[in-house]
C-alpha cells in the first residue's frame, strides 16, 4: 500500500500510548496491516482513518489480557523505554508529549480500557467523538464522558509539567553523571527535587525496589546502593519517548534505562527499567540521537 510506512509510524504512536508496550504495539500495527490487505474496502477514501480505527479496536481487545498480566506483575510495572523516539510532529506537540510521559502512562494503566482509548484518541490525537464511538462501540455522548473522566484522573494524578529545553536537560544530566561518578552525595541531593519519586522495574527478574521511593534522601540512598551493585556502569545520555534519560552500560551490554524528568532545574522523577525482557532491543551505545 502506498504510504504505508507513513501510516505505520502514526499507528505505532497510537498503539504505544494505548498499550504501553513497544512489542505489543508492533503486533497491533502488524495485525492492522494484515486486515488492510485482507478486508479493506476497495473504495477506501481515507486509509489512515480506517487503519486508526482498526488498530485501536485491536488494542482495545488486547488491553483486557494486558491488565490481567500486569496485575500479576512483580513490583512496579513501567512502560518499555524507546530510544531516540520523537513523534511530536504527528500532531499537537503538547498533547502528544504529555500523553507519552511515564507518569501519564501509569495513570492510563488504572483506567478502564474504554477510558484509556477515549483519552488517547480524543485528547492526544484529536479524534472526534463520532469516530470514537465506532471504535469503542458507545454513543458519542458516552465517549465524551469517558474522555472527561480519564482527563480528570490524568490531571489530578499526573499534572502537566512545564516544558524544559534540551539545553537544560543536558545541563542537569551532565551534573547528575558527574556527581554519580564522583560519589558526591551532597551534590546528588542538591540535584534532586525534595519530592522526587524513583520508580524501578525489575519484573522479578533482577533486584529492584518493588514500590516507588519518594524524597531526595531516600532516593540518594537507593542510588548509592545501585552504584555499588552496578560498579563500573557507564551512563550514556539518550533521547527517550517522553523526554531524556540514560542508557546504563556494563561490560559492553545494556543493563538498564533511566528516564529522567526535570522541573525547575532539578530532577523530579527517575524511572529505572532493569527488567531484561524490556531491554532486548537495546544495542550498546544507544545514546546516538540524544
pLDDT band for 89, please (50, 70, 90 cuts): confident
pLDDT for res 272: 96
Single out the residue of 266, 287, 254, 252 nearest to residue 176, CA to CA.
266
Rg (the chain; Cα; Å): 20
pLDDT at residue 33 tops 50: yes
The average pLDDT across 78-99 equals 86
| CB 79, CB 20: distance < 8 Å | yes
Concatenate the DSSP letters of all residues of 42-97 into one string. Answer: TT-S-HHHHHHHHHHHHHHHHHHHHHHHHHT-SS---PPP-BT---GGGS-HHHHH
pLDDT tens digits along 212-232: 999 999 999 999 888 888 888
pLDDT tens, residue by residue, 69-78 = 777 889 999 9
Higher pLDDT, 242 or 148: 148
**Do 198 and 219 touch, CB atoms closer than 8 A?**
yes
Tell how strand 266-273 and strand 192-201 pair up: parallel
According to the model, what pLDDT value does residue 286 have?
Answer: 45
Q: How far apart are CA 283 and CA 270, in angstroms?
A: 22
Percentage, residues of the chain above pLDDT 90: 68
Predicted confidence (pLDDT) at residue 252 exceeds the cutoff of 70: yes
Q: Which pLDDT score, from 0 to 100, does residue 289 have?
A: 45
Judge whether residue 284 has pLDDT over 70. no
C-alpha cell at 47: 486509509
Number of Cα atoms under 13 Å in the Cβ half of residue 245: 26
Q: Which residue has the cell 486509509?
A: 47
Decide if pLDDT at 287 tops 80: no
pLDDT (mean) for 54-65: 93
For residue 288, what pLDDT is reported? Answer: 43
Residue 120 belongs to what H/E stretch?
A: none
3-state helix, strand, coil in the chain (%, to 5): 55, 15, 30
Task: Label residues 55-90 b or e (16+ Cβ within 10 Å = b).
Answer: bbbbbbebbeebeeeeeeeebbbbbbbbbebbbeeb
Per-chain mean pLDDT for the chain = 90
From CA 11, how far away is CA 35, in angstroms rounded? Answer: 14
pTM, rounded to two decimals: 0.90
At 3 the pLDDT is: 63
233: nearest Cα among 221, 247, 215, 212? 247
Residue 281 pLDDT grade (very low, low, confident, very high; cuts 50, 70, 90): low
Amino acid at each position: 500500500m502506498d504510504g504505508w510506512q507513513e501510516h505505520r509510524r502514526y499507528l505505532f504512536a497510537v498503539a504505544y500510548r494505548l498499550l504501553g508496550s513497544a512489542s505489543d504495539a508492533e503486533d497491533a500495527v502488524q495485525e492492522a496491516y494484515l486486515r488492510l490487505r485482507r478486508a479493506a474496502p476497495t473504495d477506501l477514501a481515507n486509509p489512515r482513518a480506517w487503519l486508526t480505527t482498526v488498530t485501536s479496536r485491536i488494542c482495545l481487545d488486547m488491553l483486557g489480557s494486558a491488565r490481567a498480566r500486569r496485575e500479576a506483575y512483580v513490583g512496579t510495572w513501567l512502560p518499555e523505554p524507546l530510544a531516540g523516539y520523537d513523534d511530536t510532529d504527528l500532531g499537537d506537540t503538547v498533547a502528544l508529549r504529555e500523553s507519552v510521559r511515564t507518569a501519564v502512562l501509569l495513570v492510563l494503566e488504572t483506567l478502564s480500557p474504554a477510558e484509556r482509548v477515549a483519552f488517547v484518541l480524543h485528547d492526544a490525537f484529536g479524534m472526534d467523538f463520532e469516530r470514537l464511538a465506532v471504535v469503542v462501540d458507545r454513543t458519542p455522548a458516552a465517549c465524551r464522558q469517558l474522555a472527561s473522566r480519564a482527563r480528570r484522573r490524568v490531571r489530578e494524578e499526573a499534572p502537566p509539567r512545564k516544558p524544559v529545553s534540551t539545553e537544560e536537560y543536558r545541563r542537569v544530566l551532565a551534573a547528575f553523571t558527574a556527581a554519580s561518578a564522583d560519589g558526591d552525595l551532597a551534590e546528588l541531593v542538591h540535584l534532586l527535587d525534595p519530592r522526587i519519586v524513583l520508580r524501578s522495574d525489575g519484573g522479578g527478574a533482577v533486584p529492584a525496589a518493588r514500590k516507588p521511593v519518594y524524597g531526595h534522601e531516600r532516593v540518594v540512598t537507593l542510588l548509592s546502593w545501585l552504584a555499588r551493585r552496578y560498579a563500573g556502569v557507564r551512563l550514556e545520555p539518550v533521547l527517550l519517548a517522553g523526554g531524556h534519560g540514560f542508557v546504563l552500560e556494563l561490560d559492553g551490554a545494556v543493563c538498564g534505562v533511566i528516564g529522567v524528568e526535570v522541573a525547575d532545574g532539578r530532577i523530579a522523577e527517575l524511572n529505572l527499567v532493569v527488567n531484561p525482557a524490556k531491554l532486548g532491543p537495546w544495542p550498546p551505545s544507544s545514546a546516538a540521537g540524544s
